[in-house]
Chain A
Amino acid sequence: MVPYKHYGLLAIVGLMWMAGCSSPYVENNKIEEIAPVVFWSIDKGTEGKLKISTLVPPLIQEKKRLLSKEVDLLKQGGQEFNLIYYRELKQGQLRMLLINEELAKKGGIEKLINTILVDPDISMRVYLLIVRGDFDEYIKNQLTKQENQDYFLYRMLKHYEEHNQGEMSIVNIHKFMKKVYSPFKDPILPVFHSDKNNFNYVGTALFQNDKEVMVIQDVDDNIFQLLDNDHFLKVLAIPKFSISLGRIRSNVRMKLSRDYSSLSLHVGLKGRIEEYQGESNIQSEELLQHLIHEIEVYLEEQTSDLLKRMQRLKVDPLEVGTHSLKAFSKEITDEQWMKHWENMKINVDYDIKVHPLINGAVDVFQNK
């Protein structure tokens, strides 16, 4: 048999050579000497430069500070921060990329995101956010008020991403890039508003050709979550009828006509009435049906209005175009689809089934 001790010797010599003569490892990840970055915030700088900033150190018990730098290229940021800060910044724990809305409107964010995507240290699960206002101002102000605010923001996004809870559109790099490169799909990103004291969710930004073209918010954003993103909403408040529907699940059916000239959109909603502050007596079956019918009409109007705006801007974030794909025939191109989409007639039909507000308010067996 083979004398194993020789292999042991060979391995030891090999290891000594590796450690001593020419180390193949050039990265030093000693935890006491590095600062893993949790987020990059990218803003428009002066003279076409990018202003990028991050909070260091992210999780160690040490006084935090905000680093920010104006650079031409994104990667330069990390490099220059190392020169002004005593820890080496490492990108392996990057969790969020915040992009200022003005930058997103100007276009060119795909290149920024691609830069993050090709870095082998960074996971594809980095969350992308559009920020309206000054995020640096907010995080600087929070430094004294709340520790680890950057980490909590990440936890918030992670919380709403899991189980598609229908509160926010949460998008990571992979989801964004998949939609960028696929035909019939237009990418979306969440928009947050930020000022000195607040950082709050606004709505969903729709992208076309690498530019933010539209932001949908409030009821429109709720409808968007129901139609595509999550198919679920915890609360749909409609102040116009003084009513809140809760725990709504949606069932969306789209039917394209053969020549792609019209689309019929059927949305079935199932939920509960969770609040009613109006005057109508909804304990009566008839009046309740009347109210629901009014809500249906209202949602139908809102939805067709939303879809019309999307058509005008030539965006298709609902991926209606994928319904033109068939199992046994050739697909149409993205351009052809856009031509059809612009001029498409859309019929929206809502069908709401609700569990009435009964607890304590009505005699359950009144009809018996």
Chain B
Amino acid sequence: MKSLSLYNRTSTLGGIYFLFLVNRMQMHYFILIMPVYLVHSYMVWAIVVMGLLSQLNLMMMSKWFTSSYAAKGYQGFLQLFGKRAVQIFAILGFLIILLKISIVTLGYVEMLHSFIFPSMDKKWLILMILLISLFVASHGMENTLRFVVIAFLCGAWIVVLFIPFFFQADASYRDLYPLIPTEWSGQSWQGLWFIWSAFSGPVYLAFMVPWLSSNKKISKYLVIGNMLSIMEYILLFVASVLFYGSHYLRKIDFPIGYMGSYIQTSGLERIDYILISFHMFNYVFDISILLLCFYGAGRIFMRKMKERSTRIGLLSSWFVILISIILMDQWLWQTVPGQKMLLNLQIWIGACIYLLIPTILFTAVKRKESM
């Protein structure tokens, strides 16, 4: 059996990578459906509040990034928690990552399906997209982390195209009223959790510290990356409220996608095709990183950490993901309640791990240091 050096490291990636990573990991599928969950214009404050809380969370994580345990990778975790606990964490992580990959893929494929290939069988799209991610992931952790630069360059400019929606003739600022929440319901709480969960992407960075530099200055980059995401969320959300008005907005499944299709230049029409394709870079990056984490978690609970990573190992974890996605699509995603349930599950789990992991790591390091 040939071995595959997926987790080797030749050099550590500098601080600016933290900026890209934090920003891109917060901009995957959830940004596309975000307006539907927020709906009311006053929920823009929810983005601000949750974004600032996420800022605090990232500061807490930066303490972890600079600790000596993090840089040691797996050994560091063993020292902190002991073998048994790490294995249990790995199993939990394995399931959580599987769920996240599946839901993000299903969501993105649904978008591709409804905009670009409406008469294509969805399984083809799932297969193609996972193949691309497998290709990227097979280049190893370091190269995949470097891929974030491409994902950033291909995705960050898209938001600029939505600025003209602020100046359209029928965009009235009165559509943004009322500015303060006049009623607060279960749906509003869900909106808050949704945003928190959407910002939760960078939590996986906690397990990639060995490949990243761990000098003291990274917190600046974390903050800037998070700030960029907040700005992108606010811009897209306000633009979508101005474009649809909150009453029409709640009837649209992919508001950002349809806004993309409304953009028109004298030369090109239906720019949504181009935008969705460019967004795919971001998506592929996200899935590849998660795929490597997934395989890593698998190796830990199968007690294979001493051996080298193999191609069979990576391929079989890829197959687990493929099968899980296809089954989820068959059983749950195709019905509205099933889809809602999966999305709610992802919202809750994403939100919970974003709360728990930084706190657990932070307290564990503090406790060890005081001992």
Query: A interface vs B, CB < 8 Å?
Result: 1-2, 7, 10-11, 14, 18, 24-27, 120-121, 123-125, 164, 174-175, 177-178, 181-183, 185, 319, 322-323, 325-331
> Chain A's nearest CB lies how many Å from the CB of B142?
12
Query: Which of B118, B139, B182, B248 contacts A120, CB < 8 Å?
Result: B118
- Interface residues in B, total, Cβ within 8 A: 37
Q: Which residue of B lies closest to A323 (CB)?
A: B174
Question: Considering only CB atoms, which chain A residue lies closest to B174 in the complex?
Answer: A322
| Interface pair B247/A182, CB less than 8 Å apart | yes
Q: Which residues of B contact A (CB under 8 A)?
A: 4-5, 114-115, 117-121, 124, 131, 135, 138-139, 169-170, 172, 174-175, 177-180, 182-183, 243-245, 247-248, 251, 258, 261-262, 264, 269-270
A123 CA to B178 CA, complexed, in Å: 31
A123 vs B272: C-alpha distance in the bound complex, in angstroms? 10
Q: Write out the residue numbers on chain A whose beta carbons fall within 8 Å of the beta carbon of B5.
A: 1
A-B contact list, 27 entries, CB within 8 Å? A1-B5, A2-B139, A7-B135, A7-B138, A10-B131, A11-B131, A24-B124, A25-B117, A26-B119, A27-B119, A123-B269, A125-B264, A125-B269, A178-B245, A181-B245, A181-B247, A181-B251, A182-B245, A182-B247, A183-B247, A325-B178, A326-B178, A327-B177, A329-B178, A330-B182, A330-B183, A331-B178
Contact yes or no, B178 A177, CB < 8 A? no
* Distance of A325 Cα from B180 Cα, bound (Å): 12
Q: Does the CB pair B170–A175 fall under 8 Å?
A: yes
In the assembled complex, which residues on chain B have CB atoms less than 8 Å from the CB atom of A11? 131
Q: Which residues of B contact A323 (CB under 8 A)?
A: 174
A364 CB, nearest partner CB in chain B, Å = 37
Provided the pairs A24-B124, A123-B269, A124-B262 are in contact, do residues A2 and B4 lie with their beta carbons within 8 angstroms? yes
- Extra pairs beyond A123-B269, A330-B178 (5, CB < 8 Å): A125-B264, A125-B269, A178-B243, A182-B247, A328-B178
Is there an interface contact between A319 and B172, defined as CB atoms closer than 8 Å?
A: yes
Q: Is the CB of B262 within 8 A of A2?
A: no
Cα distance, A323 to B177, chains bound together (Å): 10
Are A327 and B178 neighbours in the complex by a CB distance under 8 Å?
yes
B244 touches A24 (CB 8 A): no
Given A24-B120, A326-B178, A330-B178, A182 contacting B248 (CB threshold 8 A): yes
CB distance from B239 to the nearest CB of A (A): 14
Assembled-state Cα–Cα distance A10/B262 (Å):
38
Closest to A175 in B: B170
Inter-chain contacts of B178 with A (CB < 8 A) = 325-331
